[in-house]
Amino acid sequence: MEAATDGRILRAGELEIRPEEFLALADGRPLNLTARELELLKALMERAGRIVSREELYVSVWGEPYRKSDRSVDVYVGKLRQKLEEAAPHHRFIHTHFGFGYRFSPQPAERSFTRLS
Amino acid sequence: MEAATDGRILRAGELEIRPEEFLALADGRPLNLTARELELLKALMERAGRIVSREELYVSVWGEPYRKSDRSVDVYVGKLRQKLEEAAPHHRFIHTHFGFGYRFSPQPAERSFTRLS
DNA sequence: ACACTTTTTTCACAGGCCGGTCACGCACTC
DNA sequence: GAGTGCGTGACCGGCCTGTGAAAAAAGTGT
């Protein structure tokens, strides 16, 4: 369904996704992602740089209408962050935009105590 | 049919396969593999690093259409793991990817909680 | 052809993993 | 400070996997 990039290798920063192999690499190390996690990461990367609403993400990944009370996207963003942090420490990939949604944008590294933007 | 590597010696980590001798060595020690086991190991090694579905493995090794309920691949992966563990303890070769299939990737040893740098 | 061994296939059960939901507490905006 | 949004650990049902063991098939020697 993600016609534009389906099957193509996606890259961003230290991240790489090979959809046809169900494989995601961070710094060359395989992330051990589940099906949903991989789909969500793909959806985010395909929209890299822009703020994406939960609704858009949910519809794209789950393929069903979005209910405002559904927290699935949040939960899976959390799981992704955790696994990304494991594989590529001190990088930031998924940024929260309060009240709007999430934005994927790989950031080189983390400087000690800088404030969130 | 695996034209590219058929008959050629395959190596990965501590593993070596010499197809024309029906021989597999781990750490220099011969694994005592049966025909099916050897074929499956070859199929996995030829696809090293990527996640391979049961269907692809089954079709490649058994040469017949795959039935979803068929557990043969699982059983033989189990047998391979057992023999590999015997010959080369504390190495990991075949990794399970839940819902997708298996991935061959030799891993030096297991370090429990240390993070790679 | 027969008996015996080895390998392959099937079966069934136990346990593990994943997806989805909930609830609690903190974060953020105004 | 009030009100809403967000992060996250915990939990449960259901499907996926690992695996021993039985059954079937194939191989081996006489």
Question: What CATH number is attached to the domain comprising B40?
Answer: 1.10.10.10
Q: Are B16 and B25 in contact (CB under 8 A)?
A: yes
Q: Which residue of B has its CA nearest to A32?
A: B97
Residue A112 has pLDDT above 80, yes or no: no
Which of A116, A66, A76 lies closest to A96, judged by CA?
Answer: A116
Q: Is residue B44 part of a domain?
A: yes
Domain of A51? 10-107
For residues B60 and B43, give the distance between their C-alpha atoms in angstroms, rounded to a whole number. Answer: 7
pLDDT tens-place string over residues A23-81: 999 988 889 999 999 999 999 999 999 999 999 999 999 999 999 999 999 999 999 99
By mean pLDDT, which of A90-104, B5-19, B27-41 is the weakest? B5-19
Q: Is residue B60 part of a domain?
A: yes
Q: Is residue A115 part of a domain?
A: no
pTM: 0.85
From chain A, the residues in CB contact with B51 under 8 A are 21-23
Q: Which residue of B has its CA nearest to A29?
A: B116
* Model pLDDT, residue B6: 64
Q: Is residue A34 part of a domain?
A: yes
Interface touch A23/B105, C-beta < 8 Å: no
